[in-house]
Structure 1
């Protein structure tokens, strides 16, 4: 109660008591007059309270409070002013909401808000087109019940939304959509869905072009390399001045064959999301075999290659693909580690999944190159690449193999201190985790 009401109440009480005392003076019954006056005032006050209570329970949003006079008149007037102020504020907020809804409704991209449990709260019209959401029956439903693609369910439950997710639309397999999810507020989710069908088609055209060109070049290149090999086998019958050019031509031909094979492998990896031969792969035996190949590649360079297997856990996936990825990492360590250097291979499993690390004591890589190492044909040092004879596709192949096996590649390196490449596989990919210790 503010100061004005306080003074008004005091004036009313003083006036009431004065009138009661005056009546008591005339009648001679001071106590009875005062009691009757106070009772009447209390009754009138209770009546006003009942009117206010009835209005609060029964009134409509735009219905004004009841009329009154005196102190209760001021109370009802104050309530009326608060009501009008609240209506104006709600009107302004509603206007903002309407503008936001109109602007989002005009977007071609779908906008969806989810609560902390992933239940649908609100969406625009584009969400109905791209995701097939229906108003109002889908409100409050878990988004994973309406977007049933297994990759979306895995992506949403993982909670790692750094990279977007591309999947076919649940309403049209020929429509490809891309999800961007952002957390806000009390762990609520804002989901933006874009139509990337055109980009997907362009990407598919690029993949088809590379695959077709690589396949078409393979046959003539095989013929050329075959004739070069025949000529070098009969080099005594060839003019000696052609020996060196023929040898160089054969080396470059073999290099081109390796490049085409890597391009064809990448095209095959990109064709599907999951390996067709998804069977348990004994990683410990696979690493032993790759270690033997690495020692043969190292030859007389006096490199120390150690294998530390701390788990017999098998991975679900394709053995040829995993062999290709692990071989690329280990053979790169051999190529880029100087003579007499150390290469340490480690395989282990824990509650988060299974892990492979390949650590070398090579020249290391500057931090500015690390984010782009898995790009196709990206070269840290062109002269280094020429000396090792790489195609620039090895780490791109590793990246795609890991993606198909629910894994990710972590790279840490520093100039002059060597590099460590670590493959992390999700626990769902571990077929048979059985911890043990076997050092080599």
Structure 2
């Protein structure tokens, strides 16, 4: 194609030069004839260029190009056909965009597009209902100015959107929304917002039911265990052969009391998003106390429990809740590690925050069980769990305590080689002296 264009242009120039020289031969003025011929050719090309400019600037969508011949005619036709192809492509793209907008407008879930800085670019009608967005004034506004909840600001700033976030709607506290952010393109955000009010109400009913039943069972169970303890103290006066039955009843009563205590603790943890007694907690002395309790729990089993903790580390939060979470991890390591096993407790901090790791030399956990370990009453091995006397709520308590302290639990394990439980606290949870 390039050779055709060059050949056509060369022929045009040779024709002009030839005609100019022929005119010079007739007039006897070769130089002026050549100048006049080339000038006329240049003027004609400039005139075609101006026609092209005016057509491109003022032409309507379907206006035909100016009539011309030769090279400029080919240029006009090529540009005209290129415009037509672009118009068809734009039409197809616009049709796709219109269908996408119509489908998203019909969704009951809010779809919101944000730029890399978190400013609003586009949203569907459901976003106006769920979040109260207004098309006339909210375009280009930062999303954090419209959803002002502190937890949403933390969630948006961390850029780790693996888990959704549930918050009350800015429109009204009676509406519960689930926020899910996804990164795409050059740092832009796609935010999906779903109304989960009904699910939240059902979950709240379940929590209230468990809390109320646990509270109501606590009093009669205390009475039963109290009488059992009295009977055991005087079992010889009643019937010596009842000793075994009374002891088993007392053991099961104690187990039920522990279960109710854990259920009530979980209900209390779920009641609020952040501990009320929030103050700096010295981690090293806390872990030293837990280590002493773990040594007492190990007793004759002879576990080697090693502790390495940053003596200057302070965490913001509730000391009682942190003690409950950390002791659950350490006591689990003692229960599931074989006699003489090694248990290592480490606590350190770095640029990513503070970390607590509990490693044991127990039997390990298969990978298929790890995602469900923090569920309530989930058992990897029901018979083994029954032997340890656990309630099945320990890791659920750990999970909720960490959520209240903006932290997360990472579990890794290899069957036959032990397990590792690591609590990761963000830098914002580290307190200064």
Instruction: Give the TM-score category using the shorter length.
Output: over 0.9
Matched, 1:234 2:242: no
Matched, 1:118 2:118: yes
For 1:28 and 1:105, the matched residues in 2 are separated by 80
For 1:432 and 1:226, the matched residues in 2 are separated by 46
Match of residue 203 from structure 1: 203
Match of residue 364 from structure 1: 364
SS at match of 1:300: helix
Q: Any conservation in 2 of the 1:343–1:358 contact (CA below 8 Å)?
A: yes
Q: Any conservation in 2 of the 1:311–1:349 contact (CA below 8 Å)?
A: no
Match of residue 175 from structure 1: 175
Question: CA deviation digits over 1:198-221, x for unaligned, max 9?
Answer: 111111111111111111111111
TM-score, normalised with respect to structure 1 = 0.92
Spell out the pairing of 1:219-298 with structure 2 (5 A cutoff). 219-298=219-298
Measure how far apart 1:252 and its partner are. Answer: 0.6
For 1:60 and 1:143, the matched residues in 2 are separated by 40
The number of residues matched between the two structures is 433
Tell me: CA distance 1:351–1:22, structure 2 relative to 1, closer, same or farther (3 Å). closer
Measure how far apart 1:69 and its partner are. Answer: 4.0
SS at match of 1:139: coil
SS at match of 1:236: helix
Spell out the pairing of 1:317-328 with structure 2 (5 A cutoff). 317-328=317-328
Measure how far apart 1:168 and its partner are. Answer: 1.3
For 1:7 and 1:334, the matched residues in 2 are separated by 90
Match of residue 87 from structure 2: 87
Tell me: CA distance 1:231–1:73, structure 2 relative to 1, closer, same or farther (3 Å). same
Matched, 1:51 2:51: yes
Q: Any conservation in 2 of the 1:121–1:139 contact (CA below 8 Å)?
A: yes
Q: Any conservation in 2 of the 1:311–1:348 contact (CA below 8 Å)?
A: no
Match of residue 415 from structure 1: 415
TM-score, normalised with respect to structure 2 = 0.93
Tell me: CA distance 1:341–1:30, structure 2 relative to 1, closer, same or farther (3 Å). closer
Question: CA deviation digits over 1:314-347, x for unaligned, max 9?
Answer: 1111111111111111111121222222222222
Question: CA deviation digits over 1:152-180, x for unaligned, max 9?
Answer: 11112111111111111122211111122
Question: CA deviation digits over 1:262-310, x for unaligned, max 9?
Answer: 0110011111110011111111221222222222222222222232222
Q: Any conservation in 2 of the 1:311–1:347 contact (CA below 8 Å)?
A: no
For 1:172 and 1:60, the matched residues in 2 are separated by 51
Unaligned segments of structure 2, at least 5 residues: none
Q: Which deviates further from its counterpart, 418-427 or 13-22?
A: 13-22
Match of residue 375 from structure 2: 375
Q: Any conservation in 2 of the 1:279–1:318 contact (CA below 8 Å)?
A: yes
Tell me: CA distance 1:60–1:120, structure 2 relative to 1, closer, same or farther (3 Å). farther
- CA RMSD between the two structures: 2.1
For 1:226 and 1:392, the matched residues in 2 are separated by 25
Measure how far apart 1:79 and its partner are. Answer: 1.9
Question: CA deviation digits over 1:391-431, x for unaligned, max 9?
Answer: 00001000100110111112222222222222111111011
Unaligned segments of structure 1, at least 5 residues: 434-440
SS at match of 2:415: coil
Spell out the pairing of 1:325-344 with structure 2 (5 A cutoff). 325-344=325-344
Tell me: CA distance 1:64–1:172, structure 2 relative to 1, closer, same or farther (3 Å). farther
